[in-house]
Chains A and B, each alone.
Chain A
Amino acid sequence: MRNPQLNAHGELIHLLSIEGLPQPVLTHILDTASSFVSVSDRDVKKVPLLRGKSVFNLFFENSTRTRTTFEIAAKRLSADVINLDIARSSTAKGESLLDTLANLSAMHADMFVVRHSESGAPYLIAQHTAPHVHVVNAGDGRHAHPTQGLLDMYTIRHYKGDFTRLSVAIVGDIVHSRVARSDIHALTTLGVPDIRAVGPRTLVPGDLAGMGVRVCHTLEEGLRDVDVVITLRLQNERMSGALLPSAGEYYKHWGLTRERLALARPDAIVMHPGPINRGVEIASDVADGTTSVILPQVTFGIAVRMAVMSILAGNEA
């Protein structure tokens, strides 16, 4: 079974998941992103790499923030961007996913940026689009959020350099997190020797060990001497019920406070994919602290998405 993201030459034609991508492909994306970081600092924040191309943002699940970052990235590459809030239009009228897709293909799209609530939906889309159309997964169910994973890697490389000597802790609701899955695949591919999945048993299943991480059910074990702490957002609907009794108890045991952060290395950076819940998964003074790189993550995210789109556009199915 060939990885549907790669063409016969092993070049990236869709970005659906970080799983299965070779290390040189990831490194190439990060290197390309470096060259785009400076574009955002210029007076004219545009390069003509995607001039004349149409990028369709297909958001079957609402997310203003992620959609905006893709839109900015595409516009800085000089592409035409069409935002479709499908969650409120076609599918509400009963149109099937593939029918929606056929219609959009007929509008001569060059790239689909897809967010969907079902794991695997971008694979179905990639399988059924015209050969010249590239698909970027902007988050599917619990499965993957590869551009977030890549921007996290960019951030880690920016602050820490060599991946092969790092200890990285991912803390929180890992079972429901597409960001965590993409981070884990990226970290293992880039050679990080110590990856810890940290949280209560209801949110951090033992099966995760199969992905190459150490499962830690205490913060003390999970944070000790790590170089990077990635804190995950706890969704409102999961704060009380069968998974957790309350947001308060979660914060008491798993919230990232200054005292707990002291378990990590003194120069450890704190990351979060956003939006953050202050006082639930992270204390305000940590989120705003000197070791927090949460805002630089957002900035790097634009460059990484520019890199992904420009690389995809240059490769043929």
Chain B
Amino acid sequence: MSASTVLIRHGRVIDPASGRDERADLLLQGERIVRIGALGDASADRVVDASGCIVMPGLVDLCARLGEPGGEHKGLLESELGAAAAGGVTSLVCPPDTDPVLDEPGLVDMLKFRARRLSRARLFPLGALTRGLQGQALTEMAELRESGCVGFSQAEVALADTNLLLRAFQYAAGFGYTVWLRPQDAFLGTGMAASGALATRLGLTGVPVVAETIALHTLIELARATGVRLHLARLSSAAGVALVRAAKAEGLPITADVSIHSLHLTDVDIGFFNAALRLTPPLRQQADRDALRAGLADGTLDALVSDHTPISRHAKDVPFGEAEPGATGLELLLSLALKWGQDTGLALPQTLRAVTSGPAAVLGESLGGLAASVGRLVEGGVADVCVFDPTPTWALTPGALRSQGTASPFAFDITGMALPGRVRATWVAGTLAYEA
């Protein structure tokens, strides 16, 4: 008996990696896409009419926290991977700042095993770069890689010790591993909001732009010296974008991403101390946001990430400076990519590249056998597919999300923002993970 088949008909099929953008049908069989094209006569166990909809590769999100292990009161794998599927996200990378920290292969094995059983999205953990993220001793990177870690990261913990950083880069480079770091100076990066007129006026401690650029200079110098493959997570400033652009022009193996928050919002949106906008990195000014938008459009920034962080209500119902940084994002990623594309005047394939082939290329060879098909629609490739309707708009109102974390600066009562596009269905490895 052959594996069950799904025929997705009459949709507009967009595959940013190949540039395909045409009305076509998609035939899934088992875990694979078997045919793409005009398949009018094909039969299948299930036929889905995607008229008026976009058929695209499942989204790839390079930064999503899931609550587990250790943060089960904030989010559970089940709820957060369900949120991923509802957002069309079929592959996601989670940082290692769980509790306990992902610094041992056994923890990574367990996390991957639990995620696989849910069949909602592929989970690609980052291993801790240093034990306990404490910045003192390297982790067993090769062991962690064998368990499925796609790279090594310090999550939100800044590394002050440049000697250790140099050794970590040398060691990782020897194996061809990618180091993922958010550029932040350990001493200058501790404020509550971006330095500037808003922070000064509200009396909030500031994080100056140099907190990002000093770290970038250090990281880029060390990458140049060691040849390590470096991914720079969640840039926040125009000056940061310029440094990454120059490093890439020089041919260094560097990639970078930006969060949905920094792409759409600025510090002014904090308004009267709205704790939903307490984020790391902090929201900066208009010129920074504009540079981030341009950088994502011209490819200086390789990916748009949700920076999904489920946070319980009571951790935000406190004064701004005491609020836990972060916001929910998995279910907003597609709509906020579309909104950026519309605002910037981009064609849909270019817009969707930032959430599919762009982030997949950052993962690159770390995906192993999946490298040829994650973030793409290819015959013979894995059937990770998202179907969405581009016409409706929606608002982030209470009850709109599956994620256990509901705090978001995009909540309708804060921004009044209408979000374009609605996911209709998501398949992960040919299994229906979500259907509206």
Contact = CB atoms under 8 A, between A and B. Distances in A.
Interface string A179-216: 00100000000000000000000000101101100000
B317 A210 contact: no
A120 interface: yes
Contacts of B275: 124
A208 B200 contact: yes
Interface string A152-181: 000000000000000000000001001001
B390 interface: no
Interface string A269-291: 00000000000000000000000
A181 B197 contact: no
Contacts of A181: 201, 203
A118 B272 contact: no
B319 A96 contact: no
B320 interface: yes
Contact of B317 (A118, A124, A142): A124
Interface string B228-272: 000000000000000000000000000000000000000000011
Nearest to B204: A119
A97 B319 contact: yes
A121 interface: yes
Contacts of B201: 19, 181, 210-211
Given A207-B197, A211-B200, A211-B201, A119 B321 contact: yes
Contact of A96 (B196, B199, B318, B320): B318
A123 interface: yes
A29 to B, nearest CB: 21
B272 A119 contact: no
B366 to A, nearest CB: 42
A98 B200 contact: no
A114 B87 CA distance: 42
Contact of A119 (B195, B196, B202, B318): B202
Interface residues of A, number: 28
B320 A1 contact: no
A181 B271 CA distance: 17
Given A1-B271, A1-B272, A96-B314, A121 B200 contact: no
A141 interface: yes
A124 B273 contact: yes
Interface in A115-131: 116, 118-121, 123-124, 128
A248 interface: no
B203 A119 contact: yes
A143 interface: yes
Contact of B320 (A3, A119, A208): A119
A151 interface: no
Contact of A123 (B197, B204, B272): B272
